[in-house]
Structure 1
Amino acid sequence: MTNYQKMLKDPSTLRIFFSSPFGGMEEEREELTRRYFPHINHICNSRGVQFVAVDMRWGITTESSASAQVINLCLKELDRSDMFIGFFGQRYGWHGVDDAALQENFDNATSAYPWVSSVRDKSVTELEFIHGHLNNPGSLPAYLCFRDKAYDAKICEEARKKGDKKMVFKYSPESDHAAELLDDLKHRCKDTESLTLGVDLCYKNPKEGAELMFKAIHQHLTKYLMISSVHVVQEDRQALAKSLHGAFLANKVKLYEGGDHYITQLMKNVDAEPPVPYLVTGPAGCGKSALVCNWLHKLMQNPAYSHCCVVHHFVGCARDSARIQSILTRVTEELEEKVEELKSGESNSHGDSKKEGSDDVRELMRKLSVVLDRLTSLGKQPVVVIDGLGNVKKSSKAEKAVYWLPTFPKQAVLVVSTKQSDEDIIDELKRRDFSVIDLPPLDLDTQRVICVNTLRMAGKELSPAQVDKVVQAKQTENALFMKIVLNELVSFGYFRLLDKKIDSLVSCQSVHDLFM
């Protein structure tokens, strides 16, 4: 096994390139998308990394295809990827030295990839295998697998009995020559097995193939790129919570559009004398968390604010994170940790926040106030963010809204968020003189930028007419609705049905309807 480079090309994103011919491999791709991609997403999200499945089944626009840029686009997406997963059935894919359109694609790719001129008889899928692995075995983590001929033969036999010529076409070699080229590719892959994550020459069926691919990916992620889940379990409670809240923040700063003026407003408030507490509100799914996280990211990355001691708590992102006692305890402990760092080992005569056993809300509020005062006395500016107040668990229906949130010292910064529908919380915070940022729906230009950039991150591109269809739907004014629609399109596997898929998604009237 080669000692693969352990750093991602983009530290915040894991890009895995999935390569196969289009026809006859739909079942593997659907199995991967529906069963295994959520697991990969979970592994990545728990470490603040975004998972992008690069899948060229669609995303090459009619314009790119007409200008013969298919090979260029595929190989460029591979250059951006961190892993290569290749799989074949019996079809070899688009190839032919006499195919004028394909040879024009070769012509256009030779300037960036001179080696393609020597393999003009190969299929586009084999070009991906060559560039992703065979040209430099071991440079990119790769898992390569080929489906058992017996599976395809059975499908073809059943299709012939039904007179289904399309199915026979998808599960048969294009020609004897194509079958020979595919067999040659298998042998070359097998010869380099020691420099891969694995090579399987005859997995039995699509479910087994998808499982093998996932196992190879999972093993690589836990061994080389991520911290094993076993180690996570062994971390202490405070460190694990800090890791999960940090991962939540990291996942919200990948792509953000349309709120720069709000970020500027929050930055100016940190500099104000004195700062005021802020409430960020708006409809569910409008981007409140994204705004808060991107402001925090900018604040923490700016050396001019090194005097700020930042603690962020995202209600619901970790176990027990919605309990009032858990929120107060965790925020207090993190601030106390910063005090201890500043004191550089001096005796801690005010160590109330470290005492175990107290679950009394009033006592926890007092401890938080004490540690906030200590930080300001040490010349630091506490910055506390609590995102999702409406999701905090109440002990009773009669409980007064946010009674547990103490008054902060004069120089401390407090920013909270809640849904527009949480009227009791909003009324109470306004009574306490919180300044309010009320997020509006996404405007059309912002929707368009989000749509194009999100798909581009996944190596996809819609036609202008398709983009218009997405952004002109009233429901995509909601950031969460837009995100779910785009995620569904990225994982959709049938290019010719893409317009119908877009229509079905934008016809949904709510986020809930998208999951029905």
Structure 2
Amino acid sequence: MTEQSHADGLLPADTSRAARIFLSSTFRDYAEERDLLVRRVFPALRARLKERFVELVDVDLRWGITAEQAERGEVLPICLAEIDRARPYFVGMLGERYGWIPPADAYATDLLERQGWLEEHRGGKSVTELEILHGVLNDPAMAGRAFFYFRAKAYAERKGGDYLAASPEDAARQADLKARISESGFPVSNYNDPEDLASQLEQDLWQILDAAYPADQVPDAFEREGRRHAAYAAPRRRLYLGGERFIQALDAALAEHAQRVLIEGASGGGKSALLANWLAKHKASNPDDLVFEHYLGASADAADAASLVRRLIETIKRRTGSQEAIPGEPEKLFESLPLWLGLASAYAQHRNKRWLLVLDGLNGLLALRDLRWFPDFLPERVHLVISCLPGEVMEARAAKGDWRRVQVDPLSDQERSALLRRFLATYNKTLSEVLEARALAHPLASNPLFLRTLAEELRLFGVHEQLEERLEYYLQSSS
């Protein structure tokens, strides 16, 4: 039986362990620093936090505000709102340039009603200074989570142009701002060049993030591998366009006691995201189920058949409290699997539970792709759900019994638009209607992986004036 489903709605992202870092500086003279941070420092920090299930988001607004939003006077409200979303993390970077000062009539009435403190600064403060006031200087509770970095004047003098103050008045404003920051008690570091900043900032941010999300006691190899699978699933639960009808297709399969369920669909079409989101909901509503969750793309060992089976058996052993030894040799390990599944079945039957074994991306097996190692028979109360692409593994799977099939379809026009907008909105970036239409017109835009890869490349690109050209470059890709 084949279930055809489309995405009907958005599932909420998991924000329980997410850290947003707001980057504040003028733009024209800080492209080098921001590029280093976005392309090197934050990816390095993100990799270190991944093992702790922490999602790190850098908020870089270089092109996150459209011309239409600027014309409507939405620049400052967006900046202040993003600062609030990122609390308590704030990074302020200052050189010699003071930055753009919005005219007094650029402050919307509703903004002044919400942020009464802005009234005294209308027409006299730059957006950058207002960010610093709102984000840090007006909020003593930011102590310990905000950092300031002052760039050496000699570097600006060597670069010239936009790196220098636009006028003597702006130079005085910048000097006064730096003095107030220095006197505030918040940490201030001086740096010589962008490389120096990158080194200092990575150390400073890691110090506070390490304290905020401390590592637990050193886990054993089994627990470390489990964390890798959890870390693999976590970002796939964010910004998911799976839809209740689609998830209900999987729920229905289990409700009808299907022991083997196959999820099919194109590469990059969202099968892993479906499983990650469905399992999160399923475990919440079925807390008694015993779930083994394995993503073959989660680690270097995850696609090895022996490692997969060993992890499954270790899971059964720990959950059942068995004292049986796990064979070390792969052949004996495979031979023992039916016995372990039988133990799992008996354990579940005695306690009125069921086992749910989920294998994502089974086509990714590095060897033994004929599935000779996996039993043809599944005992009672043991259910298997896999996702797989066409090929040798898919053909071998057919010999392992009858399968309930669920087909993952490409994104609809509405879904691809929502996915692109929501991904960029995570970093407070927005494409103009014209650029969005061009992106969504690409033949591969119905593929979630392609769309997210495109959005990620765009959000890392820091030159707003060249965004259209860069988008056209990416859209030349055929894969």
The TM-score with structure 2 as length reference comes to 0.91
Equivalent residue for 1:192? 184
Q: Identify if the C-alpha distance between structure 1 residues 318 and 176 changes in structure 2 by more than 3 Å, giving closer, same or farther.
A: same
User: Quick check: 1:504 aligned with 2:473?
Assistant: yes
Q: Identify if the C-alpha distance between structure 1 residues 88 and 106 changes in structure 2 by more than 3 Å, giving closer, same or farther.
A: farther
* Deviation, structure 1 residue 224: 1.7
* Deviation, structure 1 residue 356: 5.6
C-alpha separation in 1, matches of 2:203 and 2:448: 33
- Match of 2:22, SS state, is strand
Equivalent residue for 1:153? 157
Equivalent residue for 1:208? 196
Post-superposition CA distance 1:55-84 (Å, at most 9, x none):
111121222211112111110111110411
Q: Identify if the C-alpha distance between structure 1 residues 362 and 14 changes in structure 2 by more than 3 Å, giving closer, same or farther.
A: same
User: Quick check: 1:178 aligned with 2:149?
Assistant: no
> Which residue of 103, 106, 111 maps to 1:104?
106
C-alpha separation in 1, matches of 2:248 and 2:20: 32
CA contact (8 A) 2:416 2:445 kept: yes
C-alpha separation in 2, matches of 1:155 and 1:250: 43
Counterpart AA for 1:208: D
> Which residue of 26, 39, 45 maps to 2:44?
39
- Match of 1:257, SS state, is coil
Q: Number of residue pairs matched? A: 459
Q: Identify if the C-alpha distance between structure 1 residues 148 and 106 changes in structure 2 by more than 3 Å, giving closer, same or farther.
A: farther
CA contact (8 A) 1:339 1:374 kept: no
Equivalent residue for 2:3? none
CA contact (8 A) 2:242 2:274 kept: no
User: Quick check: 1:137 aligned with 2:140?
Assistant: yes
- Match of 1:474, SS state, is coil
The within-5 A match list for 1:44-443 is 44-82=49-87, 83-95=89-101, 99=103, 103-105=105-107, 107=109, 109-120=111-122, 121-139=124-142, 141-156=145-160, 168=161, 170-193=162-185, 196=186, 198-200=187-189, 202-227=190-215, 234-272=218-256, 274-302=257-285, 305-340=286-321, 348=322, 351-352=323-324, 354-355=325-326, 357-359=328-330, 360-378=332-350, 379-394=352-367, 399=368, 401-406=370-375, 407-420=377-390, 423-431=391-399, 432-443=401-412
Post-superposition CA distance 1:421-440 (Å, at most 9, x none):
xx222122233222222323
- Match of 1:92, SS state, is coil
Counterpart AA for 1:30: D
CA contact (8 A) 2:310 2:333 kept: no
C-alpha separation in 1, matches of 2:171 and 2:35: 25
Post-superposition CA distance 1:249-276 (Å, at most 9, x none):
222111111443221111112222x323
Q: Percent same amino acid among aligned pairs?
A: 29
CA contact (8 A) 2:253 2:404 kept: no
Counterpart AA for 2:355: P
Q: Identify if the C-alpha distance between structure 1 residues 400 and 496 changes in structure 2 by more than 3 Å, giving closer, same or farther.
A: closer
User: Quick check: 1:490 aligned with 2:479?
Assistant: no
* Deviation, structure 1 residue 358: 4.4
C-alpha separation in 2, matches of 1:400 and 1:474: 32
The one of the two structures with greater contact order (alpha-carbon pairs below 8 A, sep at least 6) is 2
* Deviation, structure 1 residue 321: 1.8
CA contact (8 A) 2:354 2:381 kept: yes
Q: Identify if the C-alpha distance between structure 1 residues 41 and 419 changes in structure 2 by more than 3 Å, giving closer, same or farther.
A: farther
* Deviation, structure 1 residue 279: 1.5
CA contact (8 A) 1:324 1:361 kept: no
Equivalent residue for 1:5? none
Post-superposition CA distance 1:167-221 (Å, at most 9, x none):
x1x111011121111111112222233xx4x311x31011111222222111111
Post-superposition CA distance 1:337-367 (Å, at most 9, x none):
2223xxxxxxx5xx32x44634324334234
- Match of 1:261, SS state, is helix
* Deviation, structure 1 residue 36: 1.4
C-alpha separation in 2, matches of 1:444 and 1:369: 44
Counterpart AA for 1:428: A
C-alpha separation in 1, matches of 2:58 and 2:426: 9
- Match of 1:415, SS state, is strand
* Deviation, structure 1 residue 116: 1.1
Post-superposition CA distance 1:299-349 (Å, at most 9, x none):
0111xx223111101113124222212111111222332223xxxxxxx5x
Q: Identify if the C-alpha distance between structure 1 residues 471 and 218 changes in structure 2 by more than 3 Å, giving closer, same or farther.
A: same
* Deviation, structure 1 residue 50: 2.5
* Deviation, structure 1 residue 441: 2.2
C-alpha separation in 2, matches of 1:17 and 1:488: 19
Say what the alpha-carbon RMSD is for the aligned residues: 2.0
CA contact (8 A) 2:327 2:333 kept: no
The TM-score with structure 1 as length reference comes to 0.84
C-alpha separation in 2, matches of 1:90 and 1:436: 62
Structure 2 stretches lacking a partner, 5+ long: 1-13
* Deviation, structure 1 residue 376: 2.7
* Deviation, structure 1 residue 452: 0.9
C-alpha separation in 1, matches of 2:340 and 2:234: 26
User: Quick check: 1:473 aligned with 2:465?
Assistant: no
Counterpart AA for 2:294: H
After TM superposition, the structure 1 stretch with the greater mean CA deviation from structure 2, 319-328 or 445-454, is 319-328
Equivalent residue for 1:6? none
C-alpha separation in 2, matches of 1:151 and 1:356: 63
- Match of 1:476, SS state, is coil
Counterpart AA for 1:336: K
Q: Identify if the C-alpha distance between structure 1 residues 486 and 319 changes in structure 2 by more than 3 Å, giving closer, same or farther.
A: same
